[in-house]
Structure 1
Amino acid sequence: MKFIDLIQGSEEWLAWRKGGVTATDAAVLVDQSPYKTEWRLWAEKTGYAVERDLSSNPFVRHGLAMEPAARAAAEIYFDDLLLPMCAQASHNPLLRASLDGLNKDSEPVEMKCPSEATWIEVTTLRQNSKAFKFYYPQVQHQILVTGAKRGWLVFYFDGQVEVFCIPRDQALISQIEGVAPIFWDKVVKRREPQKDPARDLYIPQGEEMANWLYQAEEFRLLQGQISELEERLEVMKERQSASRAAMQGMMGDYMHADYCGVMVTRYVQVGKIDYEKLLADKSAGVTQQEIDSYRRKSTERCRVTLTNDMAPRLIVDKGVTDPVKDLSLDVESFYI
């Protein structure tokens, strides 16, 4: 292990992280990350895209705020001083890790400050919890970088710690060592990895780009006109509702009226049954899996959202942003 003299969170540290494969990248490269794909990681490493700013995320802010308390609690648990530091693998400087702590035996200690819901899941399911499974490759990568025989994963919540000793998993470490240089070769040569259609962003290329530009402006123009009509329609519905209420008031106790081309019929509609509450109150022991067995077949829906930026969010590659940088969000009617 080679120590790197950097302050975690500094600009120099960010550049160093971007120049190699870090422990947080490990879960992505072994396809264990629910948050990021290989393509997204590649896009961020090459500068094709920028990382999402999570500084305002309440869970991230909570974790940062609790970090000193978590460190203090972990140091009491281990009766050891846990030093944060940056390191690279001695045999391969591509492999990097920003360690929350390194104990006196040169074993990595990773600290997490989860939400209450995640804490309950971790303490209940332990190694079967989603959080443990997600952070497991990160700790194995740290073990790889440090050359340790084991590492530690510490969860801290409200003055309590849940500590996992994680032995070296040579099979996973070998997998990380195998995929890391392959991935990095794609970064260096800007060879785009295969996208995951379910998770990655579709960006039109070639002739499809021109067609998308036309269809997008057409859609935005029509949406503007639809919105204007909907506003007018809402005003008319309110006026109509007032007329209906006035006629109902004139009817008194009568249930039917018919005059001047308008027939008004009042009736009592039976309330809908709250089946979810019924199941909760009367069907103790019925599992979610059993309920799902009665669920009808899923259907695909499509939601279109108008954004305030012509370029895709977080994508900064000029090949993508240049074709739309001079276009206006205000659409001209001649496209119809």
Structure 2
Amino acid sequence: MKIINLVQGSDEWLEWREGGVTATDATILLGRSPYKTIWRLWAEKTGYARPEDLSSNPLVKKGIENEDKARIAFEENHDDMVLPACVESDEDPIFRASLDGLNGDWQPVELKCPSESTWNDVCTNGTNSKPYHLYYAQVQHQLMVTKAKKGWLVFWFEGEVREFEILPDQELMDELTLKAHEFWDQVTNKIEPPKDPEKDTFIPKGDQATEWIRLAEEYRFFEDQVQEAKKRLDDLKTKQKPLLENLKGLMGDNFTADYGGLMITRYKVAGKLDYKKILKEEAPALKAEDIEKYRGNDSERCRVTVSESVKPRTVVDEEAVAPLLNMVEEFEISYF
């Protein structure tokens, strides 16, 4: 392997990561990542879309804050020193890894500081847990790059540590190599991979973009009127509230009243059941998958968010956003 002299987190480091296939990318290319699709990774590598900013994510922040604690815990357990490093494969430089650490035997050490629920999954299910399955591919990529005979996957949570020794998995490495080169060809030649319709954002093109803009302008116009109407309704409800309180005061202890065109009925509602607490105290052995078998069929919902800008939140490709340049963004409403 080749050591690359970069400071992790720097602009140069980010640029270097975008120039190849990283260990984080490996989980995506192998279809193991619940967070990102191959299309989304392609969009970020080609500059079609910018990466989402996760710096304010509390789990990400917690992981960064505790990484040194996890590293120290591993060092103490093994009487060894672990240093962060950026490395590339000698044989195939598109494979690169930003390692949490290399130990004294030049073995990669992947450190994870998860949430409590993830930690519990690891402790309960070990190598059958979802986090192990996800990050196993990441360590395999690191083993490809470093040519080490084994690596380490380390989970740290509030001072406790769970370690997994990872040996090279040639079958997975072969699959990763094939998929990585196929993906990198798509990146270098700007060949868009198929989207996942359930996870990737639809961006219309051509005539579809024109029709979308027409419909969106009309929808946004009516949405402004809806919001004005809601504001007016909220104002009216605010004026009603003290009147109702005075009427209830006149009723005293009576639960019903009917006079002057108003029928008022007061009633009591049972308190909300804390099902999580019930399950924890009365059925602690019950697992989430046991509950799921009692769930009904899925139903589809639709949520519309009207944003100030008409441009997609992360897509920055000039050709994709060009049809939006003349779109009406603001409307003057005088509904009331």
Common fold: TM-score over 0.5: yes
**Cα displacement string for residues 151-184 of structure 1 (whole angstroms, at most 9, x for unaligned residues):** 1111223333221100111110010111111000
- Alignment correspondent of 2:299: 299
TM-score (norm 2): 0.88
- Alignment correspondent of 1:324: 324
| Uncovered stretches (5+) of structure 1, i.e. residues with no partner | none
Shift in alpha-carbon separation, 1:325–1:254, aligned structure 2, 3 A = same
1:280 Cα deviation after fit: 4.3
**Counterparts of 2:99 and 2:152 in 1: how far apart (Å)?**
11
Aligned-partner SS, 1:3: strand
**Counterparts of 2:165 and 2:281 in 1: how far apart (Å)?**
44
Shift in alpha-carbon separation, 1:244–1:104, aligned structure 2, 3 A = closer
- Alignment correspondent of 1:231: 231
**Cα displacement string for residues 130-166 of structure 1 (whole angstroms, at most 9, x for unaligned residues):** 2211111110000011112211111223333221100
- Alignment correspondent of 1:49: 49
- Alignment correspondent of 1:87: 87
- Alignment correspondent of 2:155: 155
- Alignment correspondent of 2:26: 26
The one-letter amino acid paired with 2:265 is: R
| Uncovered stretches (5+) of structure 2, i.e. residues with no partner | none
**Cα displacement string for residues 190-239 of structure 1 (whole angstroms, at most 9, x for unaligned residues):** 01000000000001111111111121121111111111112222233344
Aligned-partner SS, 1:100: strand
Matched, 1:100 2:96: no
Matched, 1:191 2:191: yes
Paired residue total:
332
**Counterparts of 2:127 and 2:240 in 1: how far apart (Å)?**
61
- Alignment correspondent of 1:146: 146
- Alignment correspondent of 1:60: 60
**Cα displacement string for residues 80-130 of structure 1 (whole angstroms, at most 9, x for unaligned residues):** 222322222222111111122222322211112223332233222221222
**Counterparts of 1:107 and 1:182 in 2: how far apart (Å)?**
28
Q: Kindly report which structure 2 residues correspond to 1:175-186, keeping only aligned pairs within 5 A, or say none.
A: 175-186=175-186
Q: Kindly report which structure 2 residues correspond to 1:112-261, keeping only aligned pairs within 5 A, or say none.
A: 112-251=112-251, 259-260=259-260
**Do 2:22 and 2:97's aligned partners in 1 also have CA atoms closer than 8 Å?**
yes
Moved more, 208-217 or 182-191: 208-217
The one-letter amino acid paired with 1:192 is: E
**Do 1:256 and 1:263's aligned partners in 2 also have CA atoms closer than 8 Å?**
no
- Alignment correspondent of 2:313: 313
The one-letter amino acid paired with 2:137 is: P
Please, what is the CA RMSD of the aligned residues? 2.7
**Do 2:213 and 2:327's aligned partners in 1 also have CA atoms closer than 8 Å?**
no
**Counterparts of 2:203 and 2:191 in 1: how far apart (Å)?**
16
**Counterparts of 2:133 and 2:92 in 1: how far apart (Å)?**
26
**Counterparts of 1:100 and 1:179 in 2: how far apart (Å)?**
24
The one-letter amino acid paired with 1:165 is: E
Moved more, 67-76 or 129-138: 67-76
